[in-house]
Amino acid sequence: MTIKEIIKILPYESPFHFVDGLSAISDDGVTGHYTFKETEFFYAGHFKENPITPGVILTECMAQIGLVCLGIYLMRAELSDDFKPQIALTSSQVDFFLPVFPGEKVSVISEKEVFRFNKLKCKVKLFNEKNELICRGTISGMLKPNTHD
C-alpha cells in the first residue's frame, strides 16, 4: 500500500482533514506533516486577535497521522476497494509545551507501542519547523475493516 493510497482512504475531508503528507511509514511507526492554513475554521473564535491552534486540533492531527495512517498501513492486508477502515479513538494523553500559530507547518512522529486485537497504541510527538517539541503523548484507538453495510 502506497502513501497516496493511505491518504486517499482516510475517513476525513475538509475542514477536518489534517494530513498533507507522509514522509515515512513502516510496521513500527509513521512520520507525516500538516500546515495549518490561516483560513482554518477554528481560528475565528480561538483567542480574539491572537489565534492559536486549539490543543484538541493538535491532538486530532497527531491521531490522524500517528494512529489512523499507521493503522491503515498495519491493516493493509485486510483492506481493499470494498473494505474501508472504521476507526475509534479510545484514549489520549497529551502534554503541550508550545503554541501553533496560523500558517505553521508541523510534523508528527509516531512510534507503535502495541497493535493487538485491532487496538493500536502509539507514542506521538509534534514538532514545528524549527524542530521544537510542541507536544507529546500517547494515543490509542480501535481499528477494523468495514464493508459499509
Q: Exposed e or buried b for every residue in 31-47, given b needs 16+ CB within 10 A?
A: bbbbebeeebebbeeee
**Number of domains within the chain:** 1
Q: Which residues are catalytic?
A: 46
CA angle 67, 65, 114 (to 5 degrees): 25
How is residue 98 written as a grid cell? 508550545
Q: How far apart are CA 35 and CA 17, in angstroms?
A: 11
Query: The domain spanning residue 104 has which CATH number?
Result: 3.10.129.10
Q: Enumerate the β-bridge partners of residue 104.
A: none
Q: Is the model's pLDDT at 149 over the cut of 60?
A: no
Q: Is there a contact between 139 and 124 (Cβ–Cβ < 8 Å)?
A: yes
pTM: 0.92
pLDDT tens column, 63-72: 999 999 999 9
Q: Which cell goes with 128?
A: 514545528
**Cα–Cα distance for residue pair 70/141, rounded to 1 Å:** 11
| pLDDT in the model for residue 9 | 86
pLDDT above 70 for 80: no
The rounded mean pLDDT for the chain is 91
Range of the domain at 48: 3-146
